[in-house]
Amino acid sequence: EAQVTQNPRYLITVTGKKLTVTCSQNMNHEYMSWYRQDPGLGLRQIYYSMNVEVTDKGDVPEGYKVSRKEKRNFPLILESPSPNQTSLYFCASSQIPQETQYFGPGTRLLVL
Amino acid sequence: AQKVTQAQTEISVVEKEDVTLDCVYETRDTTYYLFWYKQPPSGELVFLIRRNSFDEQNEISGRYSWNFQKSTSSFNFTITASQVVDSAVYFCALSERVGGTSYGKLTFGQGTILTVHP
């Protein structure tokens, strides 16, 4: 089954404790992207990747890192999480960005 | 910079009413892509439609229809004879080239919360 998976689905952590949210797709898509969703702000793009080893900033990249060492995986790294990074995070993929994006189920993060 | 505005924060209708969700976008590019996504209460994001800037034909899919007008930079979404299952948050999104090369940057509107009452 074609899908985008994210782990964990729910995470509670404390300020400053490094964490990684994994994202994996099984569709051999070249394009992958991370978004955060906050009430009243919609979805905002954090980072995207056009292919392996090719990443670029979206609208809200501060405080986040990404890597794309393999085509299927695109982890989101919070080196030193802060409470303002409490949000719902979505990973998405598509063959090319103009195409329909397939979204993961979301990761709800709470930073205390 | 690209921008997408969904001016209607919340809409409430009674079942069987028609409802239109507005989407206005800004872009300097001549080639771009527009999307609508649905987010039901369960939280997942569901693709509804994709439209490129060269295709201004309106589209109908069952009870859903979309009106794309480049002259007013709008891509509105109409649900005919709404049903309770249509209750969701609906997002409009725009993809345009960044630096003249890729369409990687995607901008979403703030979303419209639609509630359909029985």
pLDDT per residue over B4-20, tens digit each?
999 999 999 999 999 99
The model's confidence at residue B31, banded by pLDDT at 50, 70 and 90, is confident
CB spacing of B104 vs A56 below 8 angstroms:
yes
3-state SS assignment for residue B109: coil
- Most B-contacting residue of A27, A68, A101 (CB-CB within 10 A), to test interface: A101
Q: Which residues of B touch A33 (CB under 8 A)?
A: 104, 106
- Using the 8-state DSSP alphabet, how is residue A73 labeled? B
pLDDT surpasses 60 at B90: yes
Confidence of residue B99 (pLDDT cuts 50, 70, 90): low
Q: What is the pLDDT of residues B61-83, one digit of tens each?
A: 999 999 999 999 999 999 999 99
Q: Averaged over B106-111, what is the pLDDT? A: 91
On whether any CB of chain A is under 8 Å from the CB of B7, the answer is: no
> Does B108 reach chain A within 8 Å, measured CB to CB?
yes
Is B106's pLDDT higher than 90?
no
**3-class DSSP state for residue B70?**
helix
Distance (Å, whole) CA B87 – CA B16? 13
Numbers of helices and strands, H then E, in chain A: 0, 11
In DSSP terms, which residues pair with B37 in a beta bridge? Answer: B47, B91
| Residue B2 pLDDT level (bands cut at 50, 70, 90) | low
- Reported as a pLDDT band with limits 50, 70 and 90, residue B98 is low
Confirm if B46 and B101 have CB atoms less than 8 A apart: no
Residues 68-87 of A with CB under 8 A from B: none
Q: What is the DSSP string of B15-73?
A: TT--EEE--EEE-S-SSEEEEEEEE-TT---EEEEEEETT----EEETTEEEEEEGGGT
pLDDT of residue B28: 85
User: Is the pLDDT score of B50 beyond 60?
Assistant: yes
Per-residue pLDDT of chain A (112 residues; tens, 9 = 90+): 889 999 999 999 999 999 999 999 999 999 999 999 998 888 999 999 999 999 999 889 999 999 999 999 999 999 999 999 999 999 999 998 888 889 999 999 999 9
- B chain contacts of residue A23, beta-carbon cutoff 8 Å: none
Tokens of A15: 């300020």
Cβ A107 vs Cβ A10: under 8 Å = yes
pLDDT at A110: 98
Contact A105 B44 (CB under 8 A): yes
Cβ under 8 Å to A: B residues 30-89: 33, 35, 37, 43-45, 47, 50, 52
Q: Which of B33, B98, B104 sits opposite A31 (nearest CB)?
A: B104
Exposure class string for A28-63: b at 16+ Cβ within 10 A, else e: ebbbbbbbbbeeeebbbbbbbbbeeeebbebbbbee
The verdict on a CB contact (< 8 Å) between B107 and A103 is no
